[in-house]
Amino acid sequence: MGPIGVRWSSTRAAVLAAGILTFCSAHPALASGEGGGVTVVPDWSVTLQIANFLFLIFALNLLLYRPIRRILKERRDKIKGMELTIQNATQGVQEKETAFAKAIKDARAKGLKEKEGLVQQAEAEERKLIESINAKAQAELEEIRKKIKADAERARQSLQQDVGGFANEIMRKILGRTV
């Protein structure tokens, strides 16, 4: 495709050029009548010029235009291939980023669940430990109370036996004499 969108073959271009040359040479009225214009006389040199023109179109098409078009087509195909590769790579990266984000989210959720489980387990162990410490403290307290009660009872009994002696001693000190 050419820049205008019409692809001209070398034959069409040659025929068009030959027609224009023939038309201009056949109508001398198109040339300037005052002698300043160019007048083409149709002789053997016109045929030689047309043949030269056609040969140049053929040679240039063969040696210049086709290789350039081929190179441009290869470059266009290469660019399209690279664009497709870039598009596929971009899509792959996006898919990997999505998978990575999902994996991180899942790992965080799993970590939070494990953390909650460990916290609950630690709280349960703490409660058990506190209950056992409280039970042990209550048992020791009860034992100490019993011991204090027993000591108080012994002290009371011991003092009960000595109450008579203490009473006499107090009265003697208050009265100043023995009773």
User: Phi and psi at residue 92, in whole multiples of 5°?
Assistant: -65, -40
Tokens of 170: 């107090």
Give the pLDDT confidence of 17-40 residue by residue, as tens digits.
Answer: 667 766 655 555 444 455 567 776
pLDDT above 80 (res 13): no
Torsion of CA 74, 8, 11, 66, to 10 degrees: -10
Among all chains, which residue has been given the structure tokens 């040659």? 14
Percentage with pLDDT > 90 across the chain = 57
Domain ranges for the chain: 10-113
The rounded distance, in Å, linking the Cα atoms of 37 and 57 is: 27
The rounded distance, in Å, linking the Cα atoms of 98 and 102 is: 6
Contact 14, 57 (CB under 8 A): yes
Give the pLDDT confidence of 47-58 residue by residue, as tens digits.
Answer: 899 999 999 999
Give the pLDDT confidence of 91-135 residue by residue, as tens digits.
Answer: 999 999 999 999 999 999 999 999 999 999 999 999 999 999 999
Name the DSSP class of 30.
G
pLDDT above 50 (res 3): no
Tokens of 79: 């660019």
For the chain, count helices (H), then strands (E). 3, 0
Encode 21-56: b = buried (16+ Cβ within 10 Å), e = exposed.
Answer: beeebeeeeeeeeeeeeeebeeeeeeeeeeeeebee
The rounded distance, in Å, linking the Cα atoms of 50 and 20 is: 11
pLDDT of residue 5: 43
What's the predicted TM-score (pTM) here?
Answer: 0.41
Contact residues for 30 (Cβ-Cβ < 8 A; gap 6+): 24
